[in-house]
Amino acid sequence: PVRPVLPADIKARKGAAPLVCLTAYTTPVARLVDPHCDIALVGDSLGMVLHGLPSTIGVTMEMMIFHGRAVVRGLQKAMPVIDMPFGSYEEGREQAFRNAARLMAETGAPAVKLEGGQHMAETIAFLTARGVPVMAHVGLTPQAVNTLGGYKVVGREAEADRVMADARAVQDAGAFSVVLEKVPEGLAGRITQALDIPTIGIGAGVKCDGQILVVDDMLGLFTEFRPKFVKRYANLGQMADQAIADYAAEVRARTFPAAEHAFPDVLPAKGAKS
Ligand code: KIV
Ligand code: NA
């Protein structure tokens, strides 16, 4: 039997082999991710990737629970982490605990992720003291797109000290790991050296303790836009477009279905091949 990865295992991997992480939002993709990855993140990116929303702002607790349950069913080894959606934790630590506990209880995932540095430290400490392992997320925090003014690099020049302070604050509050999103590579390296918990980079260079990508981005399934940090390992979107075009052409030409896909009116004699 495979032992599932737990938050304490992730924390203990600091300085060891790089942590491999991808998002997953459905059971079949979770099954594909599971044998290869340490963490399967049910990211609120699902709002844009699966539901056509313009940002992650409109993602709800119900959406996270619905997809979280599907992903947990598809995993045996990799650890599921569920993103806390915008509006479910910022009001205060009690609200954050209530919603984190609901995400864990209703999905079975052993950890949640939330966005924010120094201003979320008190909440992270409150959650971890009460049995909620927290993955933090600093640098570019997409739920703050409307105050940040876009999806720009965070932490160049004068901003670097603040991002370092954010990373230290979430570690000191008890986070078991921290995502660094769209942070300059030198700064991400210095943060990784300074912290005792693993850093997981997305657009943060090769010096982080682990990497994460949105699975639909790296598979070429989500092509509305492509950030510079995404490497496409496959072009499944193009393959699907070709497959659907072939199907449409065959239906119109009445070459699909063929006899082998249909059911004869009279069953073949027993012993004969069906
Ligand atoms: O929502 C998401 O997919 C994320 C990762 C990209 C870190 O937060
Ligand atoms: Na997210």
pLDDT for the residue numbered 65: 98
Residue of 21, 22, 23 to mutate, ligand 1, most atoms within 8 A of C-beta: 23
Measured in Å, residue 130 CA sits from the centre of ligand 1 at 24
Where residue 90 falls (left for φ over 0; alpha for ψ -120 to 50; beta otherwise) is alpha
ipTM above 0.85, yes or no: yes
> Where are the domains positioned within the chain?
7-238
Residue of 83, 88, 225 to mutate, ligand 1, most atoms within 8 A of C-beta: 83
pTM above 0.90, yes or no: yes
Q: Which atom of ligand 1 is nearest to the CA of 115?
A: 8
Q: Regarding the domain delimited by 7-238, which CATH topology (the fold level of the hierarchy) does it fall under?
A: TIM Barrel (3.20.20)
Span 28-53, pLDDT tens digits: 999 999 999 999 999 999 999 999 99
pLDDT for the residue numbered 224: 87
Residue 132: C-alpha distances to residues 66, 128, 135 (Å): 20, 5, 10
**Cβ of 83 below 6 Å from ligand 1:** yes
**115 annotated as a binding-site residue:** yes
Percentages helix, strand, coil for the chain (3-state, rounded to 5) are 40, 15, 45
Please list the ranges in the chain whose pLDDT falls under 70.
1, 272-274
